[in-house]
Every structure is written in C-alpha cells, then in structure tokens.
Structure 1
Amino acid sequence: MSAQYNFSSRKPLFAALAMVGAGASFALVNGALQASTMQLGVSSTSAAFWQYAIGLAVALPWVLRRGVSALKTQQIGWHLFRGFLAVIGIQLWVAGLARVEIWQAIALVMTSPFFVIIGAKLFFQERVGPVRWLATIAGFGGGMVILEPWTETFNWGALLPLGAAAFWAGTSLVTKKLTASENADSITVYLLLLLTPVNALLALGEGGLVPPGAALWLLVGAGILTVLANYLLTLAYQSADAAFVQPFDHLKLPLNIAVGFLAFGFAPTGTFWPGALVIVGASLLVMLDEKKRTSSEIAAHGKP
C-alpha cells in the first residue's frame, strides 16, 4: 500500500473537526486568560497556575491509576529540564496575553516551528536543507512585520509571546529526545507533576494564588478548556495522518482573532495581515517538506 491516506480505516472528517475544536478551545482559553489578566488585573503567574492546576486535577485520577509505574525513568534530568523550559514558556505566554492584544500574541507564537528547526540543527545536528532555511527566514521575517520594531508604537511586551515560542520549541526538542527511550505516560506525568508546584511558587511570590470574583471562574474555565483542547488534539492525530490534520491547526489564527474581536473589540492592524500570511505560508512549506522527506524515506526503505 502506498503512503497515501487510507480513508477506509481512518476518519479524516472527524480528525479535521477535532483539530478545529482544539483550536477553538485554545482560542477561548486565550480569551479567558486575557480577560482575567488584562481586564481584571489578575497577575499572569496566578493565571498560569490556575490554568494548569485545573489540568492536573482533571488528569489526577489517571495519574493515580497509573501508579508508580508511570514514574519509572532513566532520564530524570531531561524531564526536569523539559519542565523548566515549559514553565518559562507558559509564564511568558500568559504575561504576553496580559500586555498585548490576542491577535498579535497568537501570530507571534506561531513562529515556534522555526525555533524548532534552528534548535534541531544546533543541538541534534539534523539536516535542515535550503527549503527549511528559507521557510525559517521567511517566518521570522513575517514576525518582524507584525512586531514593527522600527516604529514608535512598538510594544516591548510583544516580545513575550516570541519568547514563549522559543521556549516551547525547546520543550518540543527535549520531548523528541525523551521519546527515544521513555514512554508517553512518563513524559506526560512528569510534566503535569512539575508544572503545578513551580507555577504555585511563582504565583505566591507575586502576591497570592486566589484571584477575585469572576476572574476565578474564568481561570477555572480556562483550565477545563485546556484539558479539552489537548484531548481533541490527541483525537485528531489518532484519527488521521499528521500531514492531513496539520493545516487545520492554522485555523487557530482566525479563531483567536474572532475571540479577541468579539470579547474585547481588538482588531488587527494593517501590518498584521501580510506578516501572518508569511508565517502561515512558511509553516505550510515546512509541512510539505516534511511530507516529501517522509515519502522519500518510505520509498528508500521499501516500507508499505
């Protein structure tokens, strides 16, 4: 059988809907985080704590059911380093949402795959190739168009989502290294167990954990939606090939714009559109290059 989609055994429509659902859930999460921080004055550290503490609470029965077997590892150092990178990425992301409008933040965090490409070359000596280098340069160029650092209206807070993209790329690279020797259960459990206490300490250092009134319910909702979004994301990748579902991930851009506009009246500026199109186009170029490489490897090794 060739490396084409087996539509008889896979569920492409369900996968596409699950990916769109994940994007919509994440957009609502970002809206809730922005409302609680930018509008209601909750500290970004407290907002980050609640988002992932709720996630841990929902996942805790599964963690307990797995027992100590899920904690068996020979790579504790890499687990700790992955948790460190993830915490910084989360903190930078929520701090960014507290300072810049959601449309700008989501477009800038979409540069994360280009940081992954650079990291893979620097730390794993992976072959990048001219197509990916071109896509990386174009992607960061699109980010600069959105940032407009040469103008007087440049907001330094916009660098926070860009920093989040870099640290999340580092998390992805460490995850890739861990999957060579660790099972998925251990990787998931360690991240969940490491995130919440560190986020709690950061929140306590900035004044406390419990936000007032409506903000608390917004953050509880953000936590529940984070779990739902990740569940839908898993369903999407289980139901169809990654090359099929990945383009639907880019719908998170208009979905976040819609949430920002409907909830806060935030509308992108003129420079956003060309920059965002370049970032999305460069991401699709990387995806097509990966698909081509995978097809070539299958053909070279004679796999069905």
Structure 2
Amino acid sequence: MDGSVARPRPMLALLLRLVTALCLSTMAMLVKVAGTRGVELPELIFWRQFITMLVIGGLMAVLGKLGELRTQRFGAHARRAIYGISGMFFVYGAVMLLPLAEATTLSFTTPMFAVLLALVLFREKIGIYRWSAVFLGFAGVLIVMQPGSSGEVDLWGVLVGLVAAFMVALISFQIQDLNKTETPYAIVFWFTALTVPLMALALPFFVKAHDPQTWLVILAMALSGAVAQIALTNSLRFGSAATIIVIDYTALIWAVTYGWAIFDRVPPPTLWLGAPLIMCAGLLVAWREHRLGRAISVQERETSPLV
C-alpha cells in the first residue's frame, strides 16, 4: 500500500503522544464518571468502538480516501481485534476499580512487560539494564499497591491494572507490525469494525436508559478515545515507542488533576513514592532501547555493501 511506511518524524511523534496522553486521561475520567452514573462496562466499550468506527469511516469518506481502508492482512487485524477488545476490558476495569492516579501509574508498567515479551516472543537477550528496569518498576508497583490512608487501593484493582498494562504492551507489538503495511486509519477502523458486532451481541444484557447528561458523558468518552487511538497509532508510525515513552508520563498530571477536580481525591503518599520508581524504570528501558537501536543502525551501515 502506498505511503504505508512512514518516515521518522520524532517531533511529530512526541506531539501526537502528548495529545494521546491528554485524551486517554480524559477518556479514563469520563469512563469513571459514566460508571458512577450506572453505565455498565460492556455498554461503554460498545459505544466507544461504534462511535470510533463512525468517526474513522466518515472522515475517510469525506476525504475521499476510503481506499486506504483496504487490507490484505485480515488475519492480523482479527488477532489485533481479539487482543485489543480483551485489553479494553482490563484497561476500563482498572479505571473503574482504582482511583485515576493509581490506575494511570500502573499503566506505566507497560515498558517492563514489553521487555519480558521481547524475551519470550522474540528471544531477545535482556541485559542488566533492562532487567534492572523490570525489578525497579515492579518495586514501585509494590509500593503503590499498599493501601493509602483512605484504603481505596485494593489488590484486585492492582491485578487488573497490571494485566491491562501487559495487554497494552502486547498490542503495541501488533500495531507496530501492522504499521509496516497498513495506514493508521485502517488499523483503527478494522479494530472497531471487527469488535462492534461482538459487543453488540452482549449489549441487550447490559444496555439501559440514560438521561441526556449521561449520554453526553458517553459521547465525550467515545470521541476522546477515538482521537487518542488515532494519535497513538500515528505516534508509533512516526517514532519509536522507546523514544517517545517519556511523554506518556504527562498522563499522571492529568489523572491527578481530574481526580482532585472531579472526584475530590488527593493521591496518598505511597503513590508519590512508587510512581517515580516506575517512571525511572520506563525511562531506563527507553534509554536502553534507544542505545541498542543506534548500535544496530551503525552496525548495519558498517556492513552494508553500499557504504
């Protein structure tokens, strides 16, 4: 497909990742608000996917680029859809079970799971730096999972949050692979198109009547999620996940702000002790991946017959 392989544009990737962090934090806040208003998780996910599908399809139709949604990799999209919809249940579930700041902090363990997945799936050799990052990150998790003075952080919620981070790491590998041949809009469109029918089957068991304010919350949640998904997919297209991960940590600022402004909750001291450890672990992974990437690039240039 023409234009499927994008040139690296690191500054654009960083900006897109910043938009992603803001939109994902806003979506998480709205998911939590919708939950307090009686909206069940399967219904939330259905509307999130359905509205995103309409947005992507409508946008491509208006731009006259529906042809960019064609794919020769239906099987890869189907696998991404299965993992993606499973991951959404854990991501949204963590937001509903945990305070926003804690749920966001646990999502920062994704790079540690990415290291472990690289070891298992690709047989990568993991050195002392990345092993240190893994242990440092999960030491931070042990601190965060200690109940604060309000006792709001429970073990079940922490486990759901960790599974969510694992699923995000796994899905990131799938998205990077799809980005080699597919446009970002095709990746998002097929994810929604394949999962909407599945969620529609469950909808009659969970749907209920809502007041206008709740529908506005659901609509805003879905739209913020759609923008976040498009920005995230494009950020992985224009830059390496290892080099743009630092921007993800701005989500904690938004989570704390929303938690205080919307839910009148200030994070406990344990979060401020554990979160820096998890962030440092993620930055260590990013730094090491960047160094390894540069080393491979230099080696390829030195051994190339064209040099």
TM range (shorter): 0.7 to 0.9
Q: Once the 2 structures are TM-superposed, how far is the Cα of residue 34 of structure 1 from its aligned partner?
A: 0.6
Q: Once the 2 structures are TM-superposed, how far is the Cα of residue 194 of structure 1 from its aligned partner?
A: 1.6
Deviations 1:22-76, CA, capped at 9 Å, x for gaps? 3222211111111110x21211111122222221111012555555773432451
CA distance in 2, matches of 1:18, 1:175: 16
Match of 1:97 in 2: 95
Match of 2:228 in 1: 229
CA distance in 2, matches of 1:164, 1:67: 32
Task: Note the 1:147-162 alignment, pairs <5 A.
Answer: 147-148=145-146, 153=151, 155=154, 156-162=156-162
Match of 2:121 in 1: 123
Match of 1:261 in 2: 260
**Preserved contact between residue 243 and residue 287 of structure 2 (Cα < 8 Å):** no
- For residue 254 of structure 2, give the secondary structure of its aligned residue in structure 1: helix
Equivalent pairs, count? 291
Task: Note the 1:280-295 alignment, pairs <5 A.
Answer: 280-295=279-294
Match of 1:42 in 2: 39
Q: Once the 2 structures are TM-superposed, how far is the Cα of residue 173 of structure 1 from its aligned partner?
A: 2.5
Match of 2:57 in 1: 60
Distance 1:171 1:268, change over 3 A: same
CA distance in 1, matches of 2:218, 2:165: 22
Task: Note the 1:11-30 alignment, pairs <5 A.
Answer: 12=11, 16-30=14-28
Give the letter for the 1:84 counterpart: I
**Preserved contact between residue 25 and residue 254 of structure 2 (Cα < 8 Å):** yes
Deviations 1:73-94, CA, capped at 9 Å, x for gaps? 2451x32222111111101121
Deviations 1:196-235, CA, capped at 9 Å, x for gaps? 2223333333x21654432211110111122333444466
**Preserved contact between residue 99 and residue 259 of structure 2 (Cα < 8 Å):** yes
Distance 1:11 1:92, change over 3 A: closer
- Give the % identical residues: 21
In structure 2, which of residues 77, 80, 84 is the aligned counterpart of residue 79 of structure 1? 77
- For residue 208 of structure 1, give the secondary structure of its aligned residue in structure 2: coil
- For residue 297 of structure 2, give the secondary structure of its aligned residue in structure 1: helix
Match of 1:138 in 2: 136
Task: Note the 1:181-200 alignment, pairs <5 A.
Answer: 182-184=181-183, 186-200=186-200
CA distance in 1, matches of 2:74, 2:239: 31
CA distance in 2, matches of 1:240, 1:171: 16
Aligned CA RMSD, in angstroms, stands at: 3.1
Give the letter for the 1:187 counterpart: I
CA distance in 2, matches of 1:107, 1:202: 30
Distance 1:74 1:28, change over 3 A: closer
Give the letter for the 2:292 counterpart: R
**Preserved contact between residue 46 and residue 210 of structure 1 (Cα < 8 Å):** no
Q: Once the 2 structures are TM-superposed, how far is the Cα of residue 124 of structure 1 from its aligned partner?
A: 1.7
Give the letter for the 1:249 counterpart: D
**Preserved contact between residue 83 and residue 195 of structure 1 (Cα < 8 Å):** yes
**Preserved contact between residue 63 and residue 189 of structure 1 (Cα < 8 Å):** no
Q: TM-score, normalised by structure 2?
A: 0.82
CA distance in 1, matches of 2:122, 2:242: 23
Q: Once the 2 structures are TM-superposed, how far is the Cα of residue 175 of structure 1 from its aligned partner?
A: 3.0
**Preserved contact between residue 138 and residue 279 of structure 1 (Cα < 8 Å):** yes
**Preserved contact between residue 176 and residue 237 of structure 2 (Cα < 8 Å):** no
Gaps of 5+ in 1: 1-8
